[in-house]
Amino acid sequence: MAEQTPRRQLPQLDLSGVDGTPAERTAFLRELRVVARTVGFFYLTGHGIDQRLIDEVLSVSRGFFALPEADKLAIEMVNSPHFRGYNRTGQEYTRGERDWREQVDIGPELEALPFGPGQPAWTRLQGPNQWPPALPDLRATLLRWQAEINAVAIRLLRAFAVALEQDEDIFEPIYRARPNHLIKIIRYPGRDATGSEQGVGAHKDSGFLTLLLQETQKGLQVETDSGAWIDAEPRAGTLIVNIGEILELASDGYLRATVHRVVTPPAGADRLSVAFFLGASFDTEVPLLDLPPALKAQSQGLTRDPLNPLFRNVGQNALKSRLRSHPDVAQRHHSDLLAAQRLEQAVPIA
Candidate from 4-8, 57-61, 205-209, 341-345 with smallest mean pLDDT? 341-345
Please check whether residue 4 lies inside any domain of the structure. Answer: no
Please check whether residue 7 lies inside any domain of the structure. Answer: no
- Average pLDDT for 310-319: 85
Task: Annotate 250-284 with DSSP letters as a single string.
Answer: HTTTSS-PPPEEEEPPPTT--EEEEEEEE---TT-
DSSP 341: T
Task: Give the sign of the dihedral formed by CA 242, CA 166, CA 148, CA 237.
Answer: positive
Please check whether residue 339 lies inside any domain of the structure. Answer: yes
- pLDDT at position 72 is 98
pLDDT one-digit tens code per residue, 93-119? 888 889 999 999 999 988 998 887 888
Cβ proximity of 202 and 261 under 8 Å: yes
- Looking at the chain, which runs of residues are DSSP E strands? 12-14, 41-45, 85-87, 92-94, 97-99, 102-106, 182-188, 198-203, 209-214, 220-223, 229-231, 239-243, 260-263, 271-278
Please check whether residue 127 lies inside any domain of the structure. Answer: yes
Q: Are strands 229-231 and 92-94 parallel, antiparallel or unpaired?
A: unpaired
Residue 331 backbone zone (phi > 0: left; psi -120 to 50: alpha; other: beta): alpha
pLDDT one-digit tens code per residue, 239-264? 999 999 899 999 999 998 999 999 99
Burial class (CB in 10 A: 0-12, 13-18, 19+), 188: buried
Please check whether residue 277 lies inside any domain of the structure. Answer: yes
Residue 97, classed as helix, strand or coil, is strand
Cβ contacts of 147 within 8 Å, gap of 6 or more = none
- pLDDT at position 116 is 77
Please check whether residue 6 lies inside any domain of the structure. Answer: no
Q: What Rg do the C-alpha atoms of the chain give, in angstroms?
A: 19
β-bridge partners, 212: 240, 275
Residue 149, classed as helix, strand or coil, is helix
* Inter-axis angle of helices 22-38 and 137-163, nearest 10: 100
Number of compact structural domains in the chain: 1
Can you give the CATH number for the domain in which 218 is found?
2.60.120.330
* Residue 306 pLDDT class (50, 70, 90 cuts): low
Of the candidates 250, 129, 114, the one whose C-alpha atom is nearest the C-alpha of residue 181 is: 129
Boundaries of domain holding 340:
12-345
Q: What is the mean pLDDT of the chain?
A: 90
Please check whether residue 130 lies inside any domain of the structure. Answer: yes
Please check whether residue 1 lies inside any domain of the structure. Answer: no
pLDDT one-digit tens code per residue, 84-96? 999 999 988 888 8
